[in-house]
Structure 1
Amino acid sequence: MGQSSGRCGSAILAWLTLSSLAYTPSQSKCSFVTVLLSEDFLHCSVAWLRSLRRGATAHEVTVLVLPEISPDARARLLQAGADQVVTTQEIENPNAVVQYQAFAKNYAILRVWQLGSLTGKDFQKAVYMDSDMIVTQNSDHLCQRPELSAARDLGAQGEDGLHSEEFNAGLMVLEPNEATFQRLVDLAPQVRSSSGGVQPLLRAAFPDFHPLDHWRDNVNARLFDLSRAEWHVEKARRV
């Protein structure tokens, strides 16, 4: 699921009633990260934060926000469990056509590779998640995965008519690095995106990604309709 999917539905908003658990952030070299591009997704980000805290993550949680995100919205993110809310800048979308409004600014997701310079902390790993995701179980094991780890984009059609073998960029394990960030920015104008979204760029940049278990990690709700016999919601760590 990604920030392209529209505003939070009632099922996700139900998580807003949860209280964050008390925790003490570790000196971890890993951070869970989302990027808030619009206040339309503020409720989603709050729900995501509370689900991480409910799962008792031992790692820091960072929200990158664009300058137009209001002080009140930033305060809500901190209250919901963010260790830091860090302002970053938009990256120009290189596509002439942007199919969805939510895609207009989503190249700012590349800023996650700048997490160290943006926060002033030496993060060796980052677990990026779209802000409309929910964590149903502790997922700290992802911090041990190599760059770039992601789940297959099940539900999207591949060239052979089956599920795509490409990854879904809504959940990625990466290694913050300024050189990688610059490589992505330089590559962006060369990779056409028919939707105007950043996912084709990321797929082109990391063709040999490390696959996650797509029935446990980044489980898309469409799979319930497409492969209901394999659907086991109790196994899903992220939906």
Structure 2
Amino acid sequence: MIKRAYVTYLGSNDYLIGTISLYLSLISGGAQYPFVVMTSPQIGDSEKEILRALSIRYIDVSVPNVSRQIQKFNDEHGFPHWNQTFAKLSMFNLIEYEKIIFLDSDMMILQNIDHLFQCDSFSAVAAGHAFPGHEKWVQLNSGLMVIQPETGLAERLISEIPTTVSNVIGDQDVIQAYQPIWPEKKQLHLSEGYNLFIDCVDYYLRHGILQKKDIYVIHFEGKKPWKRSKLSWCKYFALLMIKRKWKQILYLREYRNLIRRSRAIILHKGFQS
């Protein structure tokens, strides 16, 4: 049997809620392939025990050594978590699978996406490029990618990490450097409905860029919903109502329900372990 899997990366304990929410949405969408979590050295035993209790396979991965200059630059410019995301590159070495679909842990699956396993390796989305002001966003977004793992591929990607930088850098920048002509490879371009930024939802629907049936994956870029307080949620929804972003509110409420279910699972499994 062809081995395929959905893969995500858990880089810190506070992303466990997002990871479980992603898993629950995959199940709701009727995914026929297993869910695998790559775990960084920062993930504790109690979090791994919760994954085991859910029968979710996890694979320990290491964070590649990057220059101190890169780490310091990311830290100083408000992106310290990007220093951990280089471990995502380990996905390219998961050669026990013929093909994987990588998903960021801040995503929600709305419909079955098993058919994406038929796509070529490095198929992805130029996410957000149809939004006004984002016309130059023509490179792939690493939030959702179809990947055919290959021995040594992760190492080749890691070799793309520079030693000095003049801007913040994360795993996506490395992948883009490895695929410099991806924008011209139209056969690798997936519809934005497979990696739709939550802030773009209403604009895309109102202007006919996407129809509701075309939306498969919502990406909660920016501040993570599970980190919002009740007061923050109230202010957020009030602002969206003023802006008449009704569809965004709808999807946020759906995701908020997933977050609640995930918190309940973590609490229950945590007491059991």
TM-score, length of structure 2 as denominator length: 0.68
Distance 2:4 2:165 in 1: 31
Where do 5+ consecutive residues of structure 2 fail to align? 183-187, 219-273
Distance 1:161 1:66 in 2: 32
Where do 5+ consecutive residues of structure 1 fail to align? 1-26, 117-121
Partner of 1:141: 115
CA distance 1:157–1:197, change in 2 (3 Å): farther
Q: What count of residue pairs does the alignment treat as equivalent?
A: 205
Which secondary structure does the structure 1 equivalent of 2:153 belong to?
helix
CA distance 1:181–1:126, change in 2 (3 Å): same
Distance 1:162 1:58 in 2: 36
Distance 1:193 1:115 in 2: 32
- By how many angstroms is 1:49 displaced? 0.7
Q: Is the 8 A contact 2:39 2:58 kept in 1?
A: yes
- By how many angstroms is 1:188 displaced? 1.3
Larger Cα-atom Rg: 2
Partner of 1:67: 41
Partner of 2:73: 97
- Aligned residue identity for 2:137: S
Distance 2:137 2:195 in 1: 14
Pairing partner for 1:211 from 158, 177, 189:
189
Distance 2:144 2:121 in 1: 12
Q: Please identify, of 89-98 and 133-142, the stretch whose mean Cα deviation from structure 2 is larger.
A: 89-98
Which secondary structure does the structure 2 equivalent of 1:188 belong to?
coil
- By how many angstroms is 1:162 displaced? 2.0
Which secondary structure does the structure 1 equivalent of 2:196 belong to?
coil
Task: Provide Cα deviations, 1:12-43, integer angstroms capped at 9, x if missing partner.
Answer: xxxxxxxxxxxxxxx44211100100011110
Partner of 2:214: 235
* Alignment pair present for 1:51 and 2:25: yes
- Aligned residue identity for 2:93: Q
Trace 1:128-207 onto structure 2 (pairs within 5 A).
Answer: 128-154=102-128, 162-189=135-162, 192=165, 194-207=167-180
Task: Provide Cα deviations, 1:76-130, integer angstroms capped at 9, x if missing partner.
Answer: 2234452x111111112342510312212110010001213xxxxx311111111
Q: Is the 8 A contact 1:135 1:237 kept in 2?
A: yes
- Aligned residue identity for 1:151: V
Q: Is the 8 A contact 1:93 1:196 kept in 2?
A: no
- Aligned residue identity for 1:169: S
Distance 2:201 2:24 in 1: 25
CA distance 1:62–1:235, change in 2 (3 Å): same
* Alignment pair present for 1:125 and 2:77: no
CA distance 1:132–1:145, change in 2 (3 Å): same
Distance 2:130 2:216 in 1: 20
TM-score, length of structure 1 as denominator length: 0.77
- By how many angstroms is 1:167 displaced? 1.4
CA distance 1:61–1:219, change in 2 (3 Å): same
What is the RMSD computed on CA atoms of the aligned residues? 2.4
